[in-house]
């Protein structure tokens, strides 16, 4: 590679690195009532809704001031990690102070849900009800028997739980019966009779 081309490639590479770490350069504000403790490589964030822990890669430096957390990469190749972990830490701070929620809805004749202790009881067309256990720190609320809300401090855990709930009875493609995310659009297929008439 000739020198002018090498300089051009290097300039593009550094610009790309700057874009990836742009989010990472922003400090994470520590909201009132949240405590942060870092003992390499584990970052612990505590608040009124619980405590979350995360292992931070060795390629990132963590600096904790009075009201903010700053991440800095140790090398140029850590740009991707820089932005990713800044976002994950921000979610931890928000989660233990404000919490996150996921919403699902049941569609189908006779489909309904109830809360039963630390689990959600589902009647979704099977010959038997299904009990869906909830992990510690996650709460569920059912409205009108068909609207399910799950709340907690861990955003990733809530996303996984919502996906597993949906898997119990995914929306079928002809009438849309099943468990879906609130507001989710299901593209329905034509039945054989309707397709034959067409």
Specify the pLDDT at position 169.
96
Tell whether the model's pLDDT for residue 15 goes beyond 80.
no
Specify the pLDDT at position 1.
46
Higher-confidence position of 21 and 35: 35
Specify the pLDDT at position 61.
93
The alpha-helical segments, DSSP class H, found in 21-154 are 79-97
Higher-confidence position of 32 and 187: 32
State the pLDDT confidence band at 191, using cuts at 50, 70 and 90: low
Place of tokens 């739980």: 161
Tell whether the model's pLDDT for residue 10 goes beyond 60.
no
State the pLDDT confidence band at 14, using cuts at 50, 70 and 90: very low
Tell whether the model's pLDDT for residue 8 goes beyond 70.
no
For residue range 140-164, what is the model confidence (pLDDT) as tens digits?
999 999 999 999 999 999 999 999 9
Q: Closest Cα to residue 164, out of 99, 91, 104?
A: 104
Specify the pLDDT at position 11.
52
DSSP, collapsed to helix, strand or coil, labels residue 185 as: coil
Specify the pLDDT at position 110.
93
State the pLDDT confidence band at 106, using cuts at 50, 70 and 90: very high
Query: Is residue 151 exposed (0-12), middle (13-18) or buried (19+ Cβ within 10 Å)?
Result: middle
For residue range 34-66, what is the model confidence (pLDDT) as tens digits?
999 999 999 999 999 999 999 999 999 999 988
> Across residues 92-117, what is the average pLDDT?
96
């Amino acid at each position: 590679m000739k020198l002018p081309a090498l300089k051009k490639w290097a300039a593009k590479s550094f610009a790309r690195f700057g874009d990836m770490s742009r989010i990472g350069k922003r400090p994470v504000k520590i909201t009132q009532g949240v405590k942060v403790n870092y003992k390499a490589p584990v970052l612990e964030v505590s608040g009124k809704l619980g405590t979350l822990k995360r292992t931070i890669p060795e390629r990132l430096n963590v600096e904790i001031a009075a009201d903010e957390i700053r991440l800095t990469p140790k090398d140029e190749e850590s740009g991707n990690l820089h932005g990713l972990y800044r976002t994950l830490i921000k979610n931890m701070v928000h989660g233990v102070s404000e919490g996150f929620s996921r919403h699902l809805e049941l569609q189908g004749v006779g489909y309904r849900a109830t809360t039963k202790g630390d689990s959600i009881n589902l009647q979704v067309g099977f010959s038997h009800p299904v009990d869906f256990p909830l992990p510690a720190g996650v709460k569920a609320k059912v409205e009108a028997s068909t609207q399910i809300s799950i709340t907690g401090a861990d955003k990733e855990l809530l996303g996984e739980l919502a996906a597993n709930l949906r898997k119990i009875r995914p929306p079928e493609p002809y009438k849309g019966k099943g468990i879906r995310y609130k507001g989710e659009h299901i593209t329905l297929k034509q039945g054989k009779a309707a397709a034959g008439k067409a």
